[in-house]
């Protein structure tokens, strides 16, 4: 069975791509969609909450494991094809149960993805802080 971070990393990478798209197209989205207009109206720094969106996308991949851990459904049910909706959960469970080497490789890939997302998020916030400092110091002069 794959480590849970593998499924979380799939979701986190999808969430990161979504938030990258939103941050790059922020102005166009605000002009075009009422949801983004309302977010901008309520808090002009709403895009700073992107790690929460990344987290929620990541948790989506853990739902079958959460359902099984809470004894809502047995593992045999959470491994049916319906649960492939959660980032191909059942498909990866089958592959990784039958091939231990692939299981290890996918776990390493999941760890690498999470490291890259973490470092990328840190670098993004550092760049925002640097921009804020530049803007602040530029206004004083």
The predicted model scores a pTM of 0.79
Helices and strands: H and E segment counts in the chain: 8, 0
Q: How many residues does the chain have?
A: 141
Round to whole Å and give the CA distance between 6 and 138: 44
The pLDDT of residue 1: 47
Q: Identify the CA nearest to 94 among candidates 78, 110, 109.
A: 78
Phi and psi torsions of 94, nearest 5°: -65, -50
Q: pLDDT value at position 54?
A: 92
Interval 26-51: pLDDT, tens: 999 999 999 999 999 998 888 888 89
pLDDT the model gives residue 11: 92
The answer to whether 29 touches 72, Cβ cutoff 8 Å, is: no
CA dist 53 and 77 (Å) reads 28
Q: How many CB atoms lie within 10 A of CB 118?
A: 13
Q: Which residues of the chain have pLDDT under 50?
A: 1
Closest to 11 (Cα-Cα) out of 57, 48, 46: 57
Q: What spatial distance separates the first Cα and last Cα of the chain, rounded to whole Å?
A: 59
Whether the CB-CB separation of 6 and 112 falls below 8 Å is answered with: no
pLDDT at 117: 94
């Amino acid at each position: 069975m794959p480590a849970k971070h593998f499924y979380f990393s799939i979701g986190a990478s999808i969430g990161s791509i979504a938030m990258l798209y939103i941050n790059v197209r922020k102005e166009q989205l605000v002009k075009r969609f009422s949801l983004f207009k309302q977010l901008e109206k309520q808090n002009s720094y709403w895009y700073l909450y992107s790690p929460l969106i990344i987290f929620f996308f990541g948790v989506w991949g853990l739902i079958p494991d959460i359902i099984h851990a809470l004894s809502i459904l047995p593992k045999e049910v959470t491994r049916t094809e319906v649960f492939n909706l959660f980032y191909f959960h059942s498909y990866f469970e089958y592959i990784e149960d039958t091939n231990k080497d692939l299981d290890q490789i996918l776990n390493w890939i999941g760890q690498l993805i999470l490291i890259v997302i973490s470092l990328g998020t840190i670098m993004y916030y550092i760049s925002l802080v640097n921009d804020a400092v530049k803007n602040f110091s530029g206004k004083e002069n």
